[in-house]
Structure 1
């Protein structure tokens, strides 16, 4: 319980940092605070000792619960309004972004599961996709911190860079919104980026982004399927194969269906969105608290270079999609 409570309490300073520095998203602040706690003399001893079991539990459970609540943001009716041609192009974009990012990370020789996790986060929905794929592949929580840090960094950069580029290129509001929805990683980052161009840009961005979010389920299933044939046992459950579709992803799909019915009151949707952000912030603090700076920067400039190259690739693909779909 102490570690779980510390992770939950860390949400408060993360929001305070965001209030003082509005340009710094809450989730980014939570990761940074976790890293500080893991490397601050005195505090790091407690984090690596008696608090570690609770922090590990918080990272796992809070992240998965947040992913479930993410389903309440997705309405299949809104997505269907894009039309089949647009949906097929978005699927093609996600596939190209995933394959391209994975290839870039492999070219930079990033270790372990980092190429898969970074490709998942950059192509689908940031932290949520990394958490889901990591669960399907039974990746240790501490091994997800570098991908999460990189996807958070690039998503945060997009909030400032994309509006500037959109202005320089004289993009229409709808074209800019589609670009933001197609290339920015996290849903919250998409909103922060697109709203700078007005309500029409924001509306276009959110629908395109949520079409990408729906692909989280098939991506997670594919990750679990690839894992199953060569895995008779897992690190934490010897002799038992990982599930094809984790239970929390099934919950994510169920809430998408519920949202699509239109029976959920607007107030409940707003409360769920806030709860999701709080859960993600607590989970990211706990993940950050599991990593020493030496481990975080083990890949050094290679990891940062791979992330920036992937960010540029996805931005170019998203801009191409925006130009095609714009009236």
Structure 2
């Protein structure tokens, strides 16, 4: 597997270099660079096995390590009403995605994938949800499309939402909840929050991590629904997902240990960095496995779906912040 893993790591390192020197989102760069190397995922190449390993096993490792950033103490710092608003936004966005997918003529798999990624934490959530969805011949294409879309939308939101919060007359806490509760990826939340003030940046990051903490229960609910509803049997070639995936167990265990104060700050910081790199390597591998031509076949209705989900989440949080305020 070494050649394929090495290629995925090289693409991830290159993407990180471009991010640090030119300000481009690392996830987006990894995906785009990976797409140009699709020929390395052909079955008869030496790299195919390692690329597949990176796109699946390394992905699950990265999601599990996210748990080291989550703790119960985070929830207590924000307050009940704001926590309820953030959680309600996650649930409402996923339910809206299922409804909108029917209107746009898209399947439930794409609805859960795009809705979950918009509602929770962008590319990381998309990869976690994809890991429990029944596999089809369109799985890699839909995942690449979702990661590409949420990363672009998140970057646009990072630029537009801070001045919008000023126009809406939000105070520091309200701006932080708006930014952390709506922008898809953690890095863009940090960028948007700290562009207003350090206070807004820190609180927005906290709100975002509360959304990240919803990843495990949402993936578990999806997994149970697919299993009990027999949805995984719709495709005879699709592998039936487990009731509780191992990476979700890892996520929950690390979150519990961190809540109990058993994970030292240095170790938590290391886990955070390892998670980010694992997810970067994984998305590079997903890009390599995905044909750009096939990804473009996803259609305009899928783009309309994910944009509608983003607008719905933003509107929901704005209205909620006004009502609570």
Task: Tell me the TM-score normalised to structure 2 length.
Answer: 0.90
- In 1, distance between residues paired with 2:212 and 2:143? 19
Which residue number in structure 1 is paired with residue 130 of structure 2?
A: 134
SS in 2 for 1:212: helix
Q: 1:79 to 1:279 in 2, by over 3 A?
A: same
Which segment is superposed worse, 167-176 or 117-126?
167-176
**Number of the residue aligned with 1:184:** 183
- Could you give the per-residue CA deviations for residues 46-90 of structure 1, whole angstroms, max 9, x where no partner exists? 332412222111011111111111111111112123333333332
Matches within 5 A, 1:20-59: 20-22=21-23, 24-38=24-38, 44=39, 46-49=40-43, 50=45, 51-59=47-55
CA distance in 1 between counterparts of 2:126 and 2:201 reads: 25
The answer to whether the Cα contact below 8 Å between 1:125 and 1:186 also exists between their aligned partners in 2 is: yes
Report what 1:147 is aligned to: 146
Give me the whole-angstrom Cα distance separating, in 1, the residues matched to 2:273 and 2:112: 29
In the alignment, the residues of structure 2 paired with residue 158 and residue 37 of structure 1 have an alpha-carbon distance, to the nearest angstrom, of 29
State the shift of 1:236 in Å.
6.4
Distance 1:139 1:197 in 2: 42
Contact 2:224–2:243 at 8 Å: present in 1 too?
yes
Contact 1:71 1:256 (C-alpha < 8 Å) held by counterparts: yes
Structure 1: runs of 5 or more not aligned: 39-43
Query: Residue in 2 aligned with 1:79?
Result: 75
What displacement does 1:315 show?
1.1
Per the alignment, in what secondary structure is the counterpart of residue 81 of structure 1?
helix
User: Could you tell me which residue of structure 2 aligns to residue 203 of structure 1?
Assistant: 202
Give the match for residue 113 of structure 1.
109
In the alignment, structure 2 segments of 5+ residues that lack a partner are none
1:123-161 alpha-carbon deviations (Å, 9 max, x no partner)? 112122222222222335514211222122211211111
Contact 1:136-1:245 within 8 A present in 2 as well: no
Say whether residues 1:258 and 2:254 are aligned partners: no
1:220 aligns with 2:219: yes
1:274-313 correspondence to structure 2 within 5 Å: 274-313=273-312
Equivalent residue, structure 2, for 1:98 = 94
Q: Distance in 2 between matches of 1:81 and 1:234?
A: 47
SS in 1 for 2:190: helix
Q: Is the 8 A contact 2:165 2:178 kept in 1?
A: no
Indicate conservation of the 8 Å contact 1:136/1:244, yes or no.
Answer: no
Match of 1:66 in 2: 62
Taking the aligned partners of 2:314 and 2:85, their CA distance within structure 1 comes to: 15
1:79–1:210 Cα contact (<8 Å) kept: no
Are 1:123 and 2:105 an aligned pair? no
Alignment size in residue pairs:
316
RMSD: 2.1
Higher mean displacement: 148-157 or 165-174:
165-174
State TM-score, norm by structure 1: 0.89
Q: Which residue of 1 aligns with 2:18?
A: 17
Residues of 2 paired with 1:106 and 1:287: CA distance? 27
Cα distance in 2 between the residues matched to 1:236 and 1:109: 22
* Aligned partners of 1:101 and 1:122 also within 8 Å: no
